[in-house]
Amino acid sequence: DIVMTQSPDSLAVSLGERATINCKSSRSVLFGSNYKNYLAWYQQKPGQPPKLLIYWASTRQSGVPDRFSGSGSRTDFTLTISSLQAEDVAVYYCQQYYTTPLTFGGGTKVEI
Amino acid sequence: EVQLVESGGGLVKPGGSLRLSCAASGFSFTNVWMTWVRQAPGKGLEWVGRIKSQVAGATTDYSVAVKGRFTISRDDSENTVHLQMNDLKSEDTGIYYCTTDYSGSLDNWGRGTQVSVSS
């Protein structure tokens, strides 16, 4: 199985400041034939289901604000919130879909 | 608008069974892979399994934790996917989410249904 490791477990960021979440996979999730990274990011607010933010490591899902961005390749990935808003308080998960079983990181809690 | 509505959760004793359903609307269900994800109380997300579309053979994959006990099926005439759960254990307790599966990224989620396994 591909193990996904997120850091930090939690972080507190001031409103308007940048938040950076890291995700490392135990092996590469870059598919050679299409040069795509099979990596997604989700946001889960309390009492709600997760919401897809980013797929293919850097493609924003429709409707996701452009303050959210994803970067990285192969085994190292980053989710950046460029200017934290109050509504961004949530737990964020990375997930690889390079192979089954699909696996998630342990989550990063973002607070103000 | 895409809607996924799970049902069938509840309280069951260890060793018991439950059948969860997920009713889908707002998209072409026949062409979409469907995945179940669960979340234990206060914990992270865990992939349970998926079923591909009919055109992809409607094949299924499961996590090691549930393989042999859980079965995913789909009824394209009813736009519904099911999760049959047998021989339930306490560690199966959690919220079960139904999702659409776009090559593995999970782009739409239901609100989930609670499963509690306890004597």
Q: Do A101 and B64 touch (CB under 8 A)?
A: yes
Cβ neighbours, 10 Å, residue A37:
25
How close B105 comes to chain A (CA, Å)? 6
Share of chain A above pLDDT 90, in %: 98
B5 in reach of chain A (CB within 8 A)? no
User: How confident is the model at residue B42, as a pLDDT?
Assistant: 95
How close B12 comes to chain A (CA, Å)? 23
Alpha carbons within 13 A on the beta-carbon side of A49:
23
Six token digits for residue B20: 């969860």
| Residues A14-69 pLDDT 10s | 999 999 999 999 999 999 899 999 999 999 999 999 999 999 999 999 999 999 99
φ/ψ of B6, rounded to 5, equals -85, 150
| Residues B67-91 pLDDT 10s | 999 999 999 999 999 999 999 999 9
Six token digits for residue B107: 């782009």
| Residues B29-55 pLDDT 10s | 999 999 999 999 999 999 999 999 999
Residue B85 in 3-state DSSP? strand
φ/ψ of B96, rounded to 5, equals -105, 125
The pLDDT confidence band at residue A100, using thresholds 50, 70 and 90, is very high
Q: Which residue has the tokens 């959210």?
A: A68
Chain A residue with minimum CA distance to B111: A49
pLDDT of B106 above 90: yes
HEC string for chain A: CCCEEEECCEEECCCCCCEEEEEEECCCCEECCCCEECEEEEEECCCCCCEEEEECCCEECCCCCCCEEEEEECCEEEEEECCCCHHHCEEEEEEECCCCCCEECCCEEEEC
Tell me the chain B residues in contact with residue A103 when contact means C-beta distances shorter than 8 Å: 47
Instruction: Please provide the average confidence, as pLDDT, over all residues in chain B.
Output: 97
User: How confident is the model at residue A53, as a pLDDT?
Assistant: 98
B77 in reach of chain A (CB within 8 A)? no
User: How confident is the model at residue A94, as a pLDDT?
Assistant: 98
Cβ neighbours, 10 Å, residue B3:
12
Instruction: Report the relative pairing of strands A103-104 and A4-7 from DSSP bridges.
Output: unpaired
Tell me the chain A residues in contact with residue B96 when contact means C-beta distances shorter than 8 Å: none
- Closest to A65 measured CA to CA, from A78, A51, A77, A46: A51
User: How confident is the model at residue B103, as a pLDDT?
Assistant: 85
